[in-house]
Structure 1
Amino acid sequence: MIQTLQVLIIDDNRSDRALIIRELQREFPQVEFTEIINAGDFELAISSGGFDAVVTDYQLRWTNGLEILRTIKAYYPRCPVIMFTGTGNEEIAVEALQSGLDDYVLKQSNRYIRIPPAIRIALNRLETQQRASLLEIRLQTLLNQVKVGIFRSRPDGTLIETNPAFLELFGIKSLGQANEMNLLDTQNCYARLVHLPPPQHQEREVQLTRSDGTQFWGLLTTTLNIIEGISVIDGLLEDITERKQTEIILEARVQKRTAQLNAVNQELSSANQDLEEFAYSISHDLRAPLRAIQGFSQILLEDLDGSFDSTSLEYLQRIAVNAEKLDTLITDLSAYSRLRQADIQLESVNLSLVLTEALTLLELDILEQQAQIQVDEPLPLVRGNRLVLVQVLTNLLSNAVKFVASDVLPQVRVWAEQRGQQTRFWIEDNGIGIPSERQQQIFSPFTRLHGEEEYPGTGIGLAIVRKGVERMNGEIGVVSQLGQGSRFWLELPTVMEQS
């Protein structure tokens, strides 16, 4: 609202002017008046301007209210004009309203109070119109500057209006040229939209042709609307040629990369097959001559023991021992290969039963080493594979019993703890421990931390453990310090027991 209201009061009756001023001062805290009582004053006011509203009588000595209204609207079309008169009639009122009059108030003793509200309503209406006009100007400016084509079309395909960006996209200069060339088939857009459920809206990528015959990719967004009972298609059209070309390039790269990966996968598949065949060859073809070596060595040791001198006997014994080591190595390699290739079925497994089975397999080693095994029951159910878990726990327990100092009796503790939805199974020993810098290496094949004479083995046991746990979707690790024992752990999903 205007801070200081400037009002022209056009009336040649001093008393009426005073009453109008009195009512306006009651309504508006800041208001100034210019009283017009003759043609000269009126001409000066028109030429000077600066007023915000006009209150005029109809019957004046030098003119009438209609002429006043027409003159003001001719110079100041938006200025509110209120006619306050007692000499007019209905015809004059209608003519005045058609000429732009904002309100018509009869000049009676109880009607003066209507003048301030009439002015306030007229000023509020003017402010609303000005805001709408400003918004329309801004919107039109935005539509003219935006790089997205905007259009409205009839269902028969005739474009009603477009923004400059739409014409620029097609390389044309006018709406008429756009309709003549029919570069965008909006009739087809209507046919697509009319059968859709509300809201009738569609977005699709289309390939279009410009007026010069060149093509471009557009993102076409259309909506079916009803404007004053008439169906129209409102749409947006964005040039996405650059993005589409990038997508095509990327798609070509993806296809090329996919082909390369497929080739690599085929090579890996072939390599895995070769590895599997090699493992089978080790297990089958090498075992026959190995058994012959072991068998004949044993015969020589048993039948001809007294015929050999000490050196020859030592050589023969070494042959037998190394043949046995080679047989163990082949067994471990076969087990590792099977874990890599086999289809592992996961199910609910009772850790207590698996542990019992593993300890049974290691019974002779445990007795020989005089090992003490402590199991903290109960042990939970986990999701895994029984045979693989037996193999994993057998290797871990075997290491716990084996890798101790020569003057130490092995002591092993086994327990489990719940960690959210997972079970962590621990095997703790009092062995020689593992240096921190080697704790990740020990799970790789053929990794040995000690000499064969000190702690015999193939160096594949922990690799088998890791591979088995991974195939069951679990994790494995170790906590250890050199000379202070080790705590190996493996983690698998817990299976909740049904109550």
Structure 2
Amino acid sequence: MTETLKQDQVIRILIVDDNPSDRVLIIRELQQQFPRLEAQEIRDQESFDRAMAANAFNLVITDYQIRWNNGLEVLRMVKARYPYCPVIMFTNTGSEEIAVEAMKTGLDDYVLKEPSRRVRLSAAVQVALERSARERQAAKLEIRLQSLLNQLRVGVFRANAQGQLLECNPSFLELLGYDSLSQAQAENSLDLQARYAQLSQLPPPQRDDWEVRLRRSDGSFVWTLISTTLNRFDSETVLDGLIEDISSRKQAELEVQRLNLSLEQRVQERTAQLAAANQALEEFAYSVSHDLREPLRAIQGFSSLLLEETSQQLDNRSLGHLQRILESSRYADRLIQDLLTYSQLSRVDVPVQPLNLTALVMEVAEQLQPQIQQRQAVVNLLEPLGEVLANRTILMQVLTNLLTNALKFVPLDVVPQITIKAEILAGSVKLWVEDNGIGINSEAQSRIFNVFERLHGSESYPGTGIGLAIVRKGVERMGGQVGVESQLGEGSRFWIQLPSVEET
């Protein structure tokens, strides 16, 4: 038997009827609707058996009253062997009771041989063939779906409102370790009656998913994902469900959780160790820097005293040595002071307050007036500079270092030109300190804010190499950022960006 019905398909029909005239009538009637009709006339049991064995027909038309049997038995034999093969009874010898019994047995249609009724035969055949094709296709899809579910080891089940299991597939029984549907019903591990009641309270679509750890019949446990929905079936609302083994996924999730907890604990431990090490290092640096200043002050004091008392008695060479000792001790003292400042920036609290940048810059410029006058520098202040949230002491140190660098890193034969201006941004102020100095090459710009990072010898441009590191540390502690734009021989544009007062 072919599996689908197409427009140009050959239609093969068994005609089971003792009356030759009726067989001719059936063939003539059907040929009008099905031009490629192939009819096989069945006259006795032997020809019927051969046709059944050959399985070369799409539909059976049978009379009820035949010499060697009757239409009901023909119907039963066809349906028993080929459940999806349509059978139509075309008769004048039946009764209403026979028609009802035949329809219950699976008859597709019942057509009387009366002249006014026989015209229905072609339409009945067409409808029966199309319905049969749909049923076979649905059956194939169901078999394919069931096979796929079994391969995926997904359990399928159906239950009624009382929680009674109506049917299930083998994967359902295997997953829960049951031998039969009755055993699964007796165990009632899913509590389907309660699940049905919960779903019935939901608005359409009445469906839900939940994960649950179930005990199998052998005492072992399995994690499952259960998906359920309420459907109408034969005028009854039933609970349809899928159950899947998710033990591997759950195990992986638990392992990830365990690893996350372990990682978090290790991070906390390492963070605490690092914080303790940093604290110890800062305290050590502060202590060493503080203690070193005492012997340096002694060296400076005795060196100054020797210069005053013996300057007339020493030759030029000895006098130069003594002056270098004094200058080196002063440099070491400045270095230690800068280290103390840098160390304190990491240790002390940094309270902030609204500060007027114009007033602060003018105060710093006033303190640096001797250096400004010495270099005959020109300082241009472009107002307004705005207000920022910052720590006064730290910001003063930052501005002092930036202006000192702008004065220092300018060739001696060039008059320093310094411009101070600001950009008022959304939520912040960006302050620029621009100079006409020697500039910085692009490769070095990412390093100049590091501790002890010097681009020039102290004999050319004196300093400790910590000034810009203090600038960066101080600005970052106040919640800001720092940067530079520069090219060799074309000056530098240093900037600091701090939160504005409006942000609060």
User: Would you say same fold, with TM above 0.5?
Assistant: yes
Structure 2 CA distance for partners of 1:327 and 1:128, relative to 1, 3 Å: same
Which position in structure 1 is the counterpart of 2:243?
236
* 1:332-481 equivalent positions in 2, closer than 5 A: 332-345=338-351, 351-379=357-385, 385=391, 387-416=393-422, 425-481=431-487
Matched, 1:273 2:269: no
Shift of 1:452: 1.9
Which position in structure 2 is the counterpart of 1:94?
100
1:7·1:52 contact (CA, 8 Å) conserved in 2?
Answer: yes
Which position in structure 2 is the counterpart of 1:118?
124
Structure 2 CA distance for partners of 1:12 and 1:173, relative to 1, 3 Å: closer
Aligned residue for 2:13, secondary structure, equals: strand
Distance 2:286 2:487 in 1: 39
Distance 2:69 2:319 in 1: 148
* 1:37-76 equivalent positions in 2, closer than 5 A: 38-39=43-44, 43=48, 45-46=51-52, 48-58=54-64, 65-76=71-82
Shift of 1:330: 2.8
TM-score norm. by structure 2 comes to 0.77
Which of the numbers 303, 327, 335 marks the counterpart of 1:321? 327
Shift of 1:136: 2.5
Shift of 1:456: 1.1
Paired AA for residue 39 in structure 2: T
Deviations 1:248-299 (A, max 9, x none): 6666666665555444434333333333433543565455555565566666
Structure 2 CA distance for partners of 1:277 and 1:71, relative to 1, 3 Å: closer
Shift of 1:104: 1.7
Shift of 1:333: 1.4
Distance 1:55 1:468 in 2: 100
Paired AA for residue 101 in structure 1: L
Distance 1:247 1:157 in 2: 32
Shift of 1:407: 0.9
Distance 1:74 1:34 in 2: 22
Q: Could you tell me the percent identity over the aligned residues? A: 47
Aligned residue for 2:100, secondary structure, equals: helix
1:169·1:239 contact (CA, 8 Å) conserved in 2?
Answer: no
1:148·1:239 contact (CA, 8 Å) conserved in 2?
Answer: no
Distance 2:105 2:171 in 1: 39
Matched, 1:186 2:193: no
1:169·1:210 contact (CA, 8 Å) conserved in 2?
Answer: no
Distance 1:365 1:241 in 2: 75
Aligned residue for 1:116, secondary structure, equals: helix
Which position in structure 2 is the counterpart of 1:134?
140
Which position in structure 1 is the counterpart of 2:223?
218
Paired AA for residue 36 in structure 2: V
**After alignment, is 246-255 or 384-393 more displaced?**
246-255
Paired AA for residue 84 in structure 1: F
* 1:148-227 equivalent positions in 2, closer than 5 A: 148=154, 163-165=169-171, 168=174, 185-187=189-191, 198=202, 201=208, 203-204=210-211, 206=213, 208=215, 211=218, 215=220, 218-221=223-226, 223=228
Shift of 1:415: 4.3
Which of the numbers 10, 24, 30 marks the counterpart of 1:4? 10
Paired AA for residue 243 in structure 2: L
Paired AA for residue 281 in structure 1: S
Paired AA for residue 240 in structure 1: S
Matched, 1:32 2:57: no
Which position in structure 2 is the counterpart of 1:143?
149
Which of the numbers 476, 488, 491 marks the counterpart of 1:485? 491
2:59·2:85 contact (CA, 8 Å) conserved in 1?
Answer: yes
Distance 2:44 2:89 in 1: 17
Which position in structure 1 is the counterpart of 2:90?
84
Distance 2:364 2:435 in 1: 16
**After alignment, is 423-432 or 54-63 more displaced?**
54-63
Aligned residue for 2:448, secondary structure, equals: helix
Distance 1:91 1:160 in 2: 32
Aligned residue for 1:392, secondary structure, equals: helix
Structure 2 CA distance for partners of 1:217 and 1:366, relative to 1, 3 Å: farther
Aligned residue for 1:412, secondary structure, equals: strand
2:439·2:487 contact (CA, 8 Å) conserved in 1?
Answer: yes
Q: How many pairs does the alignment contain? A: 490
1:148·1:237 contact (CA, 8 Å) conserved in 2?
Answer: yes
Distance 2:47 2:392 in 1: 108
Paired AA for residue 439 in structure 1: Q
Structure 2 CA distance for partners of 1:494 and 1:124, relative to 1, 3 Å: farther
Distance 2:196 2:17 in 1: 62
Distance 1:438 1:87 in 2: 110
Distance 1:380 1:151 in 2: 74
Structure 2 CA distance for partners of 1:222 and 1:387, relative to 1, 3 Å: farther
1:157·1:185 contact (CA, 8 Å) conserved in 2?
Answer: no
Structure 2 CA distance for partners of 1:116 and 1:310, relative to 1, 3 Å: farther
Paired AA for residue 437 in structure 2: G
Aligned residue for 1:443, secondary structure, equals: coil
Shift of 1:130: 1.5
Shift of 1:102: 0.9
Paired AA for residue 238 in structure 1: D
Aligned residue for 2:99, secondary structure, equals: helix
Shift of 1:97: 1.6
**After alignment, is 460-469 or 86-95 more displaced?**
86-95
Distance 2:230 2:329 in 1: 89
Shift of 1:487: 3.0
Structure 2 CA distance for partners of 1:78 and 1:210, relative to 1, 3 Å: closer
Shift of 1:118: 2.0
Distance 1:495 1:24 in 2: 95
Shift of 1:162: 5.6
